[in-house]
Structure 1
Amino acid sequence: MKEGDTKTKAPSVRRRTLLLLNEDDVGFTRALSDVYIDSVEVAPNRVVIRAYNGSRNCDIYFEEFFFTSSPVNFINRFVELRDIIKTNKRLSFSCVGEVINRDGVISMLVNKHSDFRVEDLYLSIFLVNFKSK
């Protein structure tokens, strides 16, 4: 920090459950918790995780910016996660991202690989632990 610079605290991120996430949150960064992964769609430079809690769904998008700032071949980790989900494994999911409205549906956009967890673990750590079971 240079002389004259002041420390500023980043704004707090409000936590939301899927039931409380709504149109008023669009454009803001929110922490989503207490959801489970329903499906994982993988395409080049894009992943969509469909999360659910009860009867509510939310699509979580990981797009090109996410992959340009992530470790090399990070998309392969999503392929592994997709394969685990296909075995009907119920996994918890949480993330921090921008709430967006896509095609009239409230969704989230995650931009950093450290901003989401599977079973309360970073994806890479979860995959290592899962394979060692």
Structure 2
Amino acid sequence: MSILNAIFRYEGKEELINLEDISKREDYELVKENLFCSFEGCYCPLQYIAKGAISEYLKRRIGELHNESCTYFTLPNLTGHSRRIVGTSSSILRDDHVASILRGLYDVYTETTDEREVRLKRGRENARVRRNNKIDKSKSEKDVEEVYVNKATTSSEGESLVEGERNPPVRRRYSLLDLSDIDIGQTEGIIGELVSIVNNEKRTILELTDRLNKITLYVYLEEVFFDNSPVNIDTSLKVLSEIVNKGKKIYVSCVGEVVYRDDKLGMLLLREKDLRINRVPVIIFIHQFNE
């Protein structure tokens, strides 16, 4: 995927710059050495490649990695060799990992400026550690590394992770505007503000909007969701709808499959445990609201 813009970060100041404008800058030499990924939560340093035979472009610097939730993230190649995908599978995310993703989405979405700076500083320190990882060059550069890709899912049809096996990576979308057609069919984490709820028998639709109210996204809770959730989940969703109608600001974070329905992107949820309201499960949020 082409990177079309970047963050120019220098001496505590930040500026979003489009790819085609980089070469036009008077401070071009300074800018091109201080470019970073513009995706929310990712601080991967970028390298600007000037226009040549084809066109100018941006790429991550050698030894750097995008954040796993970044739209430009690719599986890291720590050997320096060519890679060939020889197979794929889907593994069920562990419940504690899903809970961590949901809490993290809310924390980043609602953080203060100071909290954001602390998080970015911690991320930069972690990036330095990754840069120091040694590349295995024991094999010939012509060797091809065979890779088996394990995708994330919350469906019971996926494989269970064995003890010691890592959860597959899950992209976090801190803005609904970051979703695109390439996400369809992928299990990802999203967050948005709850606008309305439509409740029917064993079918509910949550309408979310982004921070700027530019787009809406529907989260679908269908029969499989109710079968995999506590028996009182339908009552909880009706109460939640009443709270929304009272004007309470509510943020919904969830992990599910990105789908395309009625000419729009949406998300399909399969379990109540993949849904959080203002950082907590639905029933806990209702209890806190009524206190």
TM-score, length-normalised on structure 1?
A: 0.91
Tell me which residue corresponds to 1:52.
Answer: 209
**Of the candidates 63, 66, 71, which is equivalent to residue 222 of structure 2?**
63
Q: Which residues in structure 2 correspond to 1:92-111 (within 5 Å)? A: 92-111=251-270
After superposition, the C-alpha distances for 1:28-53 in whole angstroms (9 at most, x for unaligned) are 001002x1000000000011000001
After superposition, the C-alpha distances for 1:22-78 in whole angstroms (9 at most, x for unaligned) are 110000001002x10000000000110000012111000110001001111211100
Question: Is residue 2:193 matched to residue 1:27?
Answer: no
More displaced 10-residue stretch of structure 1: 44-53 or 8-17: 8-17
C-alpha distance in structure 1 between counterparts of 2:166 and 2:226, whole Å: 27
> What is the SS of the residue equivalent to 2:177?
coil
Q: Equivalent pairs: percent with the same residue?
A: 31
Q: Which residues in structure 2 correspond to 1:1-133 (within 5 Å)? A: 7-16=164-173, 17-33=175-191, 35-53=192-210, 54=212, 55-132=214-291
Deviation of the 1:7 alpha carbon: 4.2
Choose between structure 1 and 2: higher strand proportion.
Answer: 1
C-alpha distance in structure 2 between counterparts of 1:13 and 1:6, whole Å: 19
C-alpha distance in structure 1 between counterparts of 2:275 and 2:251, whole Å: 11
> What is the SS of the residue equivalent to 1:100?
strand
> What is the SS of the residue equivalent to 2:196?
strand
> What is the SS of the residue equivalent to 2:241?
helix
Unpaired stretches in structure 1, ≥5 consecutive residues:
none
C-alpha distance in structure 1 between counterparts of 2:279 and 2:251, whole Å: 7
C-alpha distance in structure 1 between counterparts of 2:244 and 2:172, whole Å: 25
Unpaired stretches in structure 2, ≥5 consecutive residues:
1-161
Structure 1 segments of 4 or more deviating over 3 A? none
The one-letter code sitting in structure 1 at the alignment partner of 2:242 is: D
C-alpha distance in structure 1 between counterparts of 2:227 and 2:177, whole Å: 32
Deviation of the 1:89 alpha carbon: 1.4
Q: Between Structure 1 and Structure 2, how many residues are aligned?
A: 127
The one-letter code sitting in structure 1 at the alignment partner of 2:201 is: P
The one-letter code sitting in structure 2 at the alignment partner of 1:20 is: D
Choose between structure 1 and 2: higher helix proportion.
Answer: 2
> What is the SS of the residue equivalent to 1:114?
helix
Larger Rg: 2
Deviation of the 1:6 alpha carbon: 6.9
After superposition, the C-alpha distances for 1:94-115 in whole angstroms (9 at most, x for unaligned) are 1101000001100001111111
Structure with the greater relative contact order (CA < 8 A, sep ≥ 6): 1 or 2?
1
More displaced 10-residue stretch of structure 1: 76-85 or 7-16: 7-16
